[in-house]
Amino acid sequence: MADLIVPISRNLPLNDGQWFAIQNATDVQSKKLAIPSNTYRAVLEVFVSFHSNDEFWYTNPPNDYIQANNLSNVPGNGAFREVVARVDGEVVGAVWPFTVIYTGGVNPLLWRPITGIGSFNLPTYDIDITPFLGKLLDGKEHDFGFGVTNALDVWYIDANLHLWLDHNSEKTTGSLLSYDAAGLDLNVNSEFNGLDGQFVTSASRHVSATGWVKSSYGEVTTTFYQRFRYENSNVFRKNGTVQIVNQTIDAKSGIFAKDATTVLLSEELHKIFPLYLYTGTTDKVGDEYSLDSLVKLGINEKKTSGGKMGFLYSSLQNAQSARGIMRVKKNLVVSGLGKTHQVYKYVGTDGCYFRDVSSRNYTVLFDRSGDSCSKGAYSRASTKLNNQSARRKLLVNKL
Residue 379: pLDDT band with limits 50, 70, 90: very low
Q: What is the pLDDT of residue 16?
A: 62
Q: What is the pLDDT of residue 26?
A: 98
CA atoms within 13 A on the CB side of 197: 17
The closest alpha carbon to 39, from 209, 178, 222, belongs to 222
Q: What is the average per-residue pLDDT within 37-58? A: 98
Q: Cβ–Cβ contacts within 10 Å for residue 287, how many? A: 10
Overall domain count for the chain: 1
Q: What is the pLDDT of residue 15?
A: 59
Q: What is the pLDDT of residue 308?
A: 83
Residue 331: pLDDT band with limits 50, 70, 90: confident
Q: What are phi and psi of 290, to 5 degrees?
A: -110, 140
Q: What is the average per-residue pLDDT within 24-44? A: 98
As a whole number of angstroms, the distance between CA 393 and CA 298 comes to 31
Q: What is the pLDDT of residue 399?
A: 36
Instruction: With a cut of 60, say whether residue 392 has pLDDT above it.
Output: no
Give the mean pLDDT of the chain: 93
Instruction: With a cut of 50, say whether residue 145 has pLDDT above it.
Output: yes
As a whole number of angstroms, the distance between CA 127 and CA 41 comes to 12
Range of the domain at 353: 4-398
Instruction: With a cut of 50, say whether residue 245 has pLDDT above it.
Output: yes
